[in-house]
């Protein structure tokens, strides 16, 4: 039997899966990403003379393209074209987004919550159309060079990724909420979180699906309430909590009142002498 060097094995592994786009308007430039289900390439659309991203999927797998085609949202990369290679694999063509996946942690709690909120928006949009992502995780979120937050790899994962995968077997919007909660927890870290935020994370990542937010929209709405210093669904407040939150929310006004009172007292004291 022929002996193959380690380098030859690496080359064969690579070229054997390199898609053959002969007879199409696309020419491959380079591989830009690889997951269990498919490989993403940068390519040139020779007809329109523009760079695009092409995802090549296992044979017979048209579902992902069909799902995304239904989801027109600024947080979801739009599809331009789809087709089949000569070997039976399917592919779809999408806008090439130059950016990066979530490599850096947000610097503040508010930034982290806002990022989670923006990730939850396309997911909420998909949930409203009956689509469950099934594999939400930081590497499936991309930050565009103009600050866009884009969610990728829709609805094709069989099992999800350990750590982000809800414990129940059935994949529903609540299992996406679980992953959103895990990501939020990672973004904010564990240092001295506000009680209301801790409660949001705990509700989103509850082991019992029924205890979680029913959809990404409900999760996002609670994040907005948190950012606006309003009461959140995840945290039932008592009177003291409500007063404290009111004080924090109106801290600027309070500061003005206190400053005014101090000034009045000072003036009064000076006058009485």
Enumerate the active-site residues: 135
CB of 33 to another protein, least distance (A): 11
Closer to another protein by CB, 91 or 125: give it: 91
Per CB under 8 A, does 267 bind another protein?
no
Per CB under 8 A, does 3 bind another protein?
yes
Region 216-255 residues binding another protein, contact defined as CB under 8 A: none
Size of the site for another protein (CB under 8 A): 31
Region 32-91 residues binding another protein, contact defined as CB under 8 A: 34-39, 58-59, 84, 86-89
CA distance 160 to 136: 8
Per CB under 8 A, does 27 bind another protein?
no
CB of 55 to another protein, least distance (A): 11
Closer to another protein by CB, 22 or 170: give it: 22
**Residue from 1, 210, 240, 268 binding another protein (CB under 8 A):** 1
Per CB under 8 A, does 17 bind another protein?
yes
Q: Torsion angle of alpha carbons 239, 245, 249, 252, nearest 10°? A: 90
Distances (CA, A) of 264 to 244, 270, 272: 26, 10, 12
Measured at the CA of 249, the angle between CA 243 and CA 250, to 5 degrees, comes to 90
CA distance 143 to 100: 5
Q: What are phi and psi of 38, to 5 degrees?
A: -170, 175
Q: Are 254 and 262 in contact (CB under 8 A)?
A: no
Q: Are 150 and 97 in contact (CB under 8 A)?
A: yes
In the complex, which residues of this chain contact another protein (CB under 8 A)? 1-9, 11-13, 15-18, 20, 22, 34-39, 58-59, 84, 86-89
């Amino acid at each position: 039997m022929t002996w193959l060097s380690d380098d030859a094995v690496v080359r064969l592994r690579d070229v054997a899966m390199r898609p053959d786009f002969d007879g199409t308007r696309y020419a491959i430039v380079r591989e830009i990403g690889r997951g269990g289900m498919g490989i993403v390439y940068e390519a040139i659309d020779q007809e329109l003379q523009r760079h695009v991203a092409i995802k090549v999927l296992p044979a017979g797998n048209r579902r992902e393209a069909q799902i995304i085609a239904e989801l027109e949202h600024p947080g979801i990369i739009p599809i331009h074209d789809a087709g089949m290679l000569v070997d039976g694999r399917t592919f779809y063509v999408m806008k090439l987004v130059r950016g990066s996946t979530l490599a850096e942690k947000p610097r503040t709690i508010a930034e982290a919550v806002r990022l989670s909120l923006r990730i939850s928006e396309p997911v909420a949009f998909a949930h409203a159309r009956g689509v469950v992502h099934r594999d939400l995780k930081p590497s499936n979120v991309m930050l565009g060079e103009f600050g866009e937050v884009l969610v990728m790899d829709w609805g094709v994962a069989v099992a999800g990724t350990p750590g982000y995968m809800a414990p129940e077997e059935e994949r529903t919007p609540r299992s996406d909420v679980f992953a959103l909660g895990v990501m939020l927890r990672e973004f904010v870290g564990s240092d001295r979180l506000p009680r209301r935020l801790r409660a949001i994370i705990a509700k989103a990542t509850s082991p019992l699906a029924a205890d979680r937010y029913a959809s990404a929209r409900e999760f996002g709405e609670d994040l907005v309430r948190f950012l606006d210093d309003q009461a959140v669904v995840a945290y039932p407040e008592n009177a003291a909590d409500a007063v404290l939150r009111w004080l924090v929310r109106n801290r600027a006004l309070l500061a003005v009142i206190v400053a005014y009172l101090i000034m009045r007292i000072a003036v009064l004291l000076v006058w009485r002498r």
